[in-house]
């Protein structure tokens, strides 16, 4: 039996511990906000928070999450989080495939570093590939959210 917390809710499961966290979230729990891109740790589309750290859910096995707290994009609420609002309002979302992962990577950064430098922002999202935005608006959205979250 594996017991973990997902988006604040305790989940107990007998699912094979060798299942990828990504598959457990999407297929067993229906949390399809977490996307699968490359499936091998290169694109960041599957980023979730594991005990507050941004991780690639395609590289994490369910068994490694026993006793841990996982946050997916659904755990940030229904679009009302400052990062979600700034990404949308500043045009940092185009196709949107990378967006949940970017938001969670940025969330991990702003939690440990509320006033990041440009370099720190770039480093935080360097593992999240976006084919659409060019990152300028993504960076602007992260700074906008940082301002709002510090008020
Ligand atoms: S799907 Fe996990 S890093 Fe690309
Ligand atoms: S908005 Fe399309 S990949 Fe980022």
- For residue 126, CA distances in Å to 14, 81, 132 come to 35, 22, 15
Look at residue 141 in the predicted model and tell me its pLDDT. Answer: 98
Q: Distance (Å, rounded) from C-alpha 74 to C-alpha 150?
A: 22
Ligand 2 near 11 CB (within 6 A): no
Look at residue 47 in the predicted model and tell me its pLDDT. Answer: 98
Domain chopping of the chain, boundaries: 2-75, 77-150
Name the closest ligand to CA 132: 2
SS3 (DSSP) at 3: strand
Q: What tokens does 5 get?
A: 């917390």
Look at residue 52 in the predicted model and tell me its pLDDT. Answer: 97
How would DSSP label each residue in 49-61? EETTEEEETTS-B
Domain 2-75 listed as CATH 3.40.50.300: no
How many residues can be counted in the chain? Answer: 151
77-150: CATH superfamily: [2Fe-2S]-binding domain (1.10.150.120)
Nearest to 138 by CA among 148, 35, 126, 111: 126
**Mutate-to-test residue for ligand 1 from 20, 23, 39, highest number of ligand atoms within 8 A of CB:** 39
Look at residue 78 in the predicted model and tell me its pLDDT. Answer: 85
**Nearest CA owner, ligand 1 atom 3:** 41
Q: Distance (Å, rounded) from C-alpha 94 to C-alpha 90?
A: 11
Ligand 1 atom nearest 57 alpha carbon:
2
Q: Could you state, in chain order, the average pLDDT of each consecutive group of 10 residues for the chain (151 residues)?
A: 97 98 98 98 98 98 98 93 96 95 98 97 97 94 96 82
Q: Do the first three CATH levels of 2-75 and 77-150 match, i.e. the same topology?
A: no
The per-residue b/e assignment along 104-128, b for 16 or more CB within 10 angstroms, e otherwise, is bbbbbbbeeeeebeeeebeebbeeb
The residue assigned the tokens 């991780």 is 55
Look at residue 79 in the predicted model and tell me its pLDDT. Answer: 85
Q: Distance (Å, rounded) from C-alpha 94 to C-alpha 104?
A: 17
Look at residue 99 in the predicted model and tell me its pLDDT. Answer: 97
**How far is ligand 2, taken at its centre, from the CA of residue 39, in Å?**
17
**Mutate-to-test residue for ligand 2 from 98, 106, 138, 139, highest number of ligand atoms within 8 A of CB:** 98
Q: What tokens does 112 get?
A: 């440990």
């Amino acid at each position: 039996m594996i017991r973990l917390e997902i988006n604040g809710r305790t989940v107990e499961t007998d699912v094979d511990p060798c299942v990828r966290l990504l598959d457990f979230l999407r297929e067993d729990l229906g949390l399809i906000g977490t996307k699968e891109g490359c499936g091998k740790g290169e694109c960041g589309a599957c980023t979730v928070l594991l005990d507050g750290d941004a991780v690639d859910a395609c590289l994490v096995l369910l068994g490694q999450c026993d006793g841990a707290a996982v946050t997916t994009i659904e755990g940030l609420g229904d679009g009302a989080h400052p990062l979600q609002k700034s990404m949308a309002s500043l045009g940092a979302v185009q196709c949107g495939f990378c967006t949940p992962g970017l938001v969670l990577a940025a969330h991990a950064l702003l939690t440990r570093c509320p006033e990041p430098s440009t370099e720190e922002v770039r480093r935080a999202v360097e593992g999240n590939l976006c084919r659409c935005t060019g990152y300028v608006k993504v960076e602007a959205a992260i700074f906008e959210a940082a301002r709002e979250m510090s008020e």
